[in-house]
Amino acid sequence: MNILVTGGTGYIGSHTAIELIGAGHNVSLADNLINSNEEVVARIQQITGRKVPFHLIDLCDYPATDELFTHNHFDAVIHFAGLKAVGESIQKPLDYYQNNINSTLSLLRAMNDHRVNKLVFSSSATVYGNPGIPKYDEMLSVGQNISNPYGQTKYVIERIIRDYCTSNSSFEASLLRYFNPIGAHESGLIGEDPLGPPNNLMPFITQVASGRRKKLLIFGNDYPTPDGTCKRDYIHVTDLAHGHIAALNHLKPGVVTYNLGSGTPTSVLQLVTTFTTVTGKDIPYEFAPRRPGDLPEFYADPTKAYKELGWKTEKTLEDMCRDSWNWQSKNPNGYK
């Protein structure tokens, strides 16, 4: 198939593009490069040995999006494009609502106008809000008690896709709610390269390990967990990419949702300890006050994805740490 990957030069989009190519698909990338680097395209081509078309485009611009579909044939779209930092979304809610929702509306309109009826959407576990239990399955209600605009945009987009599917009986959509992707491609050529201070734990750890930062701040050590730090469900980005391909391969008319995660929660201190054990790099840290909205523990119930897609995680926490450090040590300044 000819697959358009929006947000294709981003962290998850780039890894998914590589796995799509490895699975025999033709891949085109679209990105506005606000939070990524065009060097990623060259790295993907180096890894795959394939020419990968790249389209510099802001999906909020409908005429430009329509032109993209007019001059290219796509069988399906995997939609990653969007602003994604939870903390930033609280500081800049209007940017998040405008960008994430408008870009998706523009994309869906172009897909409708050009009769492209297959979509895999990169959603998030944040749509569950705070359900009061740590283990999340797809039967939980969504859209309630969401503490940040980022999660709200994911919920609204899910609703938009569902409403569009109701109007178009030919449309096939999969909504993938995942948890905490970390790791990098085993080559060390691509990985997570945040602009400015990292918003996620693993790139902060690797930047401390590489000397870019003096120490790790751990927000809260008094949670009701065995070591007092938050527990999260970490998933290797390559496993996550395979989950998108599995969802693509099982599309059918209507909308279906899947959790993509390991089903095993890991605490902040467990991740730090594992990283040190795997890499031999000590990570200085200190505890800081809790962040508003952080939950003590949540993790995926990935049973549905295994039963219906035949997908499950393959990479271990040790793999995630090893590959993250391989990327950071080979690219101490990211793609710069």
Query: In 59-102, where do the E strands start and end?
Result: 76-79
Q: Is residue 325 part of a domain?
A: no
* Distance (Å, whole) CA 156 – CA 240: 22
Q: Is residue 156 part of a domain?
A: yes
Model pLDDT, residue 261: 97
What angle in degrees, to the nearest 10, is found between the helix axes of 62-70 and 102-113?
30
Band of pLDDT at residue 141, cut at 50, 70 and 90: very high
Take residue 184 and report the two structure tokens written for it: 């990098």
pLDDT tens for residues 195-238?
877 888 999 999 999 999 999 999 999 999 999 999 999 999 99
How much is the average pLDDT of 143-163?
95
Q: Is residue 39 part of a domain?
A: yes
Model pLDDT, residue 123: 97
- Average pLDDT score, the chain: 96
Model pLDDT, residue 292: 82
97: CATH: 3.40.50.720
Model pLDDT, residue 266: 98
How much is the average pLDDT of 243-258?
98
Q: Is residue 67 part of a domain?
A: yes
- Taking the chain, what is the end-to-end CA distance rounded to the nearest angstrom? 33
Q: Is residue 178 part of a domain?
A: yes
Q: Is residue 59 part of a domain?
A: yes
Band of pLDDT at residue 74, cut at 50, 70 and 90: very high
Q: Is residue 334 part of a domain?
A: no
Domain that holds residue 76: 2-182+234-261+299-313
How much is the average pLDDT of 94-100?
97
How much is the average pLDDT of 1-24?
98
State the CB neighbour count (10 A cutoff) for residue 204: 21
* Distance (Å, whole) CA 268 – CA 175: 28
Model pLDDT, residue 230: 97
Among residues 96, 128, 150, 164, the one annotated as catalytic is 150
* Distance (Å, whole) CA 268 – CA 257: 28
Band of pLDDT at residue 336, cut at 50, 70 and 90: confident
Model pLDDT, residue 293: 79
Model pLDDT, residue 54: 98
Q: Is residue 14 part of a domain?
A: yes
pLDDT tens for residues 277-291?
999 999 999 999 998
* Distance (Å, whole) CA 246 – CA 309: 6
Say which range, 25-39, 185-199, 242-256, has the weakest mean pLDDT: 185-199
What pTM, to 2 d.p., does this model score?
A: 0.96
Give SS3 for 208: helix
Active site residue 150: yes
Q: Could you tell me what percent of the chain has a pLDDT over 90?
A: 93
> How many separate domains does the chain show?
1
How much is the average pLDDT of 25-39?
96
How much is the average pLDDT of 177-200?
92
